[in-house]
Amino acid sequence: AAYKRGARSQGVGAEIAIVRAAHVARDITAGPFTRGDAAATLSAPDGTFKAADLTGTQIEELLTAGATASDSTQFAFAAGARFSFNAITPPEASGFQVLADGSDREWTALEPAKTYTVVLAGSESQSGTPVGGTMRDVFFEYAMSVGTLLRPPPWSRSIRELTTTAD
């Protein structure tokens, strides 16, 4: 959510923001939150962002590749998109959804041929429009704007349904 909001503050209207687990270095602890905490939370605090136009199919491929990778640092967290993930062999991602235009709670199916504006770490995309600010600054500004950082409510999390054991 921080990166979607950061793009919006730079005049880039992104429907989705995707960040890989590799960009998150540690959990956020309770208590006051400083710019230094923002830097320590991120593995590349001086990293930048790009806004790229991706089709629904490309987004699905990106999220599936992250979810099914053997390296957990490749897992892709998304704001504005969610999916179901079955971690049983063979791992599978399905049921991709995006937030409906202008909504913060209404989900709709990801359309394979539709083009969406997606904010990604600058290192994730060869093309795209640079979005101002570093990861640290954007994350810190978001944290300050919301006041208290809380775990996202279930309806907004990247993983809609998670299967880890066979029933």
Q: Quick: pLDDT tens for 9-68.
A: 556 677 888 887 777 777 777 677 777 877 787 777 788 888 889 999 998 888 888 877
Return the pLDDT at 113: 95
Question: How far is it, in rounded angstroms, from Cα 27 to Cα 43?
Answer: 12
Query: By C-alpha distance, which of 40, 151, 160, 156 is closest to 95?
Result: 160
Which of 47-51, 82-86, 143-147 comes out lowest in average pLDDT?
A: 143-147
Q: What angle do CA 63, 72, 39 make, to 5 degrees?
A: 95
Q: What is the DSSP string of 23-52?
A: GB-SPPPSS---HHHHHHHBSSTT--EEEE
Return the pLDDT at 114: 93
Name which residue leads in pLDDT, 69 or 165. Answer: 69
Contact of 112 with 57, CB cutoff 8 Å:
yes
Highest-confidence segment of 52-56, 90-94, 143-147, 156-160? 52-56
